[in-house]
A and B are shown apart, each in its own frame.
Chain A
């Protein structure tokens, strides 16, 4: 009896080990073959974003790597309902996937001084 249980346990453990290995193989395969998310660096500094006109493709996920040089600026994309504070000395990562062709505005939404009103930019979302 005990030998049978032992055998069954080995089968189950072996199955799980194989399944785990298969899952690991699949994730490794996906990592090797997945389309990398395009990264876009943006610098925020009174009173502009650089770059402030950015071309992206519709349904393309992009990772924004935003750094502020001088102030806790805000980064807001109102039409996507996304915003974040940009702490100087840190890189703020925001992933977006625009799903409509056209203009997508972003702005600093933390009042940062005389010129705050000009601190904005846009994504040109193209086919």
Chain B
């Protein structure tokens, strides 16, 4: 078995899903695995604060329930990342800021010191990220944790879902200073590959980002946008999408239109949740554990 292609998905108790994606072997990692230490972080995505509609009759309560669920984790995560669509879009600039302010207020209750925010097109596509930057800061940035290099890429502030030449040049310059065996995590909102272009599940110049990342041996991408788990490989690069905190969407390309899945009164909050990402001390792989917003 090719070590980088190894992808094992199995269900465990309580409906949670455990996934182990081996991204590199010990010999490849060299000194990088020695730098990485055991830690985990949480990915939340697609809260769409401000959305109202039948797909979620508890639209005003779900985000708070997710915050409570994260706070109930036995060990607090090292940090939390929101991979976009914090709010639902609106043309009203004041309403946009009001929604972002309310969102910030709700997630301020998270018992975690460090929270990274990223925009989705619902946050940034209409005003090219102006309000997002006012309230949350830059739309693309990097940070390092325990020997892992994180890159937050913005593929939504351009309404044409482009990363753009300027940001790609920035990415190239950032990568240039890294060793080919560096542990790299890319965080973004939309898939960097063509998942379902006819559903707008793609990034117009995502292939250029993947091309820049391809020479690096240990790259994993975490994204949102599609409101469900999905696991995909482009060469040796693994791409994992996260569930939403507002409504679920159909499986990629499974039906003519990407309409939200109906709310199931018999199983409320079904398909919604967040993810815990455990980076092993050896830095060899990520363990992904999926959590529901509300335990069944």
A interface residue numbers (CB < 8 A to B): 72, 74, 76, 78-79, 85, 103, 105, 107, 109-114, 116-118, 120, 122
Chain B CB count within 10 A is highest, among A78, A111, A117, A122, for A111
B30 part of interface (Cβ distance < 8 Å): no
Q: In the complex where A76-B197, A120-B257 touch, is A114 in contact with B90 (Cβ < 8 A)? A: yes
Q: Is the CB of A111 within 8 A of B198?
A: no
Say whether A79 contacts B121, CB under 8 Å: no
Residues of chain A lying within 8 A (CB to CB) of residue B125: 111
Q: B215 on the interface (CB 8 Å rule)?
A: no
Total A-B contacts with CB atoms under 8 angstroms apart = 47
Most chain A Cβ neighbours within 10 Å, of B125, B156, B197: B197
Q: Which residues of B contact A (CB under 8 A)?
A: 88-91, 121, 125-126, 156, 159-161, 194, 197-200, 204, 256-258
Given contacts A74-B160, A85-B160, A120-B257, contact A109 B200 (CB under 8 A): yes
Contacts of A78 in B (CB 8 A): 194, 197-198
Q: Cβ of B91: which chain A residues have Cβ within 8 Å of it?
A: 113-114
Contacts A78-B198, A79-B198, A120-B257 supplied; 14 other A-B pairs, CB < 8 Å: A76-B197, A78-B194, A85-B160, A107-B199, A109-B160, A109-B161, A110-B159, A111-B89, A111-B126, A111-B156, A111-B160, A113-B89, A114-B89, A118-B257
Count chain B CB atoms within 10 A of each CB in A103, A113, A122 and give the residue with the most: A113
Chain B residues, Cβ within 8 Å of A122 = 256
Q: Is the CB of B198 within 8 A of A117?
A: no
The prevalent SS among residues of A at the interface is: mixed
Chain B residues with Cβ below 8 Å from A112 are: 159
Interface SS majority for chain B: loop
Query: When A and B form their complex, which 4 residue pairs have the shortest distance between CB atoms, in order from nearest?
Result: A111-B125, A78-B197, A105-B198, A111-B121
Pairs A–B under 8 Å by Cβ, sample size 24: A72-B159, A76-B197, A78-B198, A79-B198, A85-B160, A103-B256, A105-B198, A105-B256, A107-B199, A109-B197, A109-B204, A111-B89, A111-B121, A111-B125, A111-B159, A112-B159, A113-B91, A113-B126, A114-B88, A114-B89, A114-B90, A116-B121, A117-B200, A122-B256
Please pick, from A79, A111, A113, A120, the residue contacting B161 in the complex, using a CB distance under 8 A.
Answer: A111
A120 to B121, CA, bound (A): 17
Closest B residue to A119 by CB, please name it.
Answer: B200
Please, which residues of chain B bring their CB within 8 A of the CB of A107?
Answer: 198-200
Chain A residues, Cβ within 8 Å of B161:
109-111
Min CB distance, B80 to chain A, in Å?
Answer: 25
